[in-house]
Structure 1
């Protein structure tokens, strides 16, 4: 299976610039900002499947075919908590549905695994719902501070079609989800394999946490 994923990484987007290695050292994440860094956009191939039999989840490789992130949901059932790990299995971030009963579901993002009920999330997210404008492109909002409209990021587009953009408050695109393209006629990767583009200065682990948020919200 991993060999198959490595073959997928060979069909990298033509617009790819120099790739930079993702931060997978298990350090503290800060809701997207990794402090900058050199290089251009990073292209990650995301497969909506675990490497392990009997698990659902995600497998993420870089353009060199190296495993950088994974999610293994044992039992294959939908869970209230998803743990994003690096390639070696070290927990990086946990995405958890809020347990409070509300009309609109909230999700929380924690550093590492949740160790206690007193652990504070690093940020929160809310699915965007507007019954007056049902065709609006906005999908969700990620807040650095709980529900402060002057902090965080906005996700627009369509996750179902694997066409989304993550924008900061200045409307700059910091990450993007795209369909995986192939030059081979008649070959399509479908919706289970797609590309996550992470622009310079945005944390790739947090970008993958946003993918998990969208998958929980819209699948």
Structure 2
């Protein structure tokens, strides 16, 4: 099971997966806007509560069963590549550093907890957790209601939670808005990556 200050780089008070620069000593509210009416599906913009752009997500269609997403920082530099893994019993995504898909640059993987999807449940394993006996993080909740919480391992410790936000603009221009509150000292880039994976699983019909 993952724990801040032991399995993660950075200070003893932070929980960093992608990078300690994405950990803040205070809660951070993120607004994730999915542009669903675009030629390239799977594009997102992530801002803070003041409207400052923090990340962008670009989708790349490889095949119908193999997807790839790039998480870019505000300057447009790729920091994470998210890629689905085909031909597995469980829906599985892998996250690599930068634009790589080299196993040596694997940061974490995520898979649905069962083949039958009654509700949203995602297990997340850091790269060094090769046995995958116990997950390092898990996501539970209702994707239909956009009400999900992210926990450390199998514990009751919540590190982030999301809910859906409807606005008149989102209805008119075809955008899907998610509000995510990330707790203090938690890697918010990692949280965004998990939300993107969840959205893709839901979008492809692999998760109810």
TM over 0.5: yes
- Distance across 1 between alignment mates of 2:53 and 2:21: 23
Task: Kindly report the root-mean-square deviation, in angstroms, between the aligned alpha carbons of the 2 structures.
Answer: 3.2
Stretches of structure 1 lacking an aligned partner (at least 5 in a row): 1-28
Aligned pairs, how many? 181
Alpha-carbon contact 2:164-2:178 (below 8 Å) kept: yes
Specify the alignment match of 2:113 in structure 1.
128
Give the 3 Å change call, closer, same or farther, for CA 62–130 of structure 1 in structure 2: same
> Match of 1:98?
85
In structure 2, relative to structure 1, the CA distance for the partners of 1:38 and 1:113 (3 Å cut) is: closer
TM-score, structure 2 as length reference: 0.73
1:148 aligned to which of 126, 129, 132: 132
Question: Greater strand share, 1 or 2?
Answer: 2
Q: Secondary structure at the match of 2:192?
A: helix
Contact 2:72–2:79 (8 Å) recurs in 1: yes
Paired residues for 1:24-173 under 5 Å: 30-31=16-17, 34=20, 39-49=25-35, 54-56=39-41, 57-73=43-59, 80-99=67-86, 101-114=87-100, 117-129=102-114, 131=116, 135=118, 137-144=119-126, 145-146=129-130, 148-169=132-153, 170-173=155-158
> Normalized against structure 1, the TM-score is what?
0.70
Larger Rg: 1
Which structure 2 residue ranges, 5 or more long, are not aligned?
1-14, 204-208
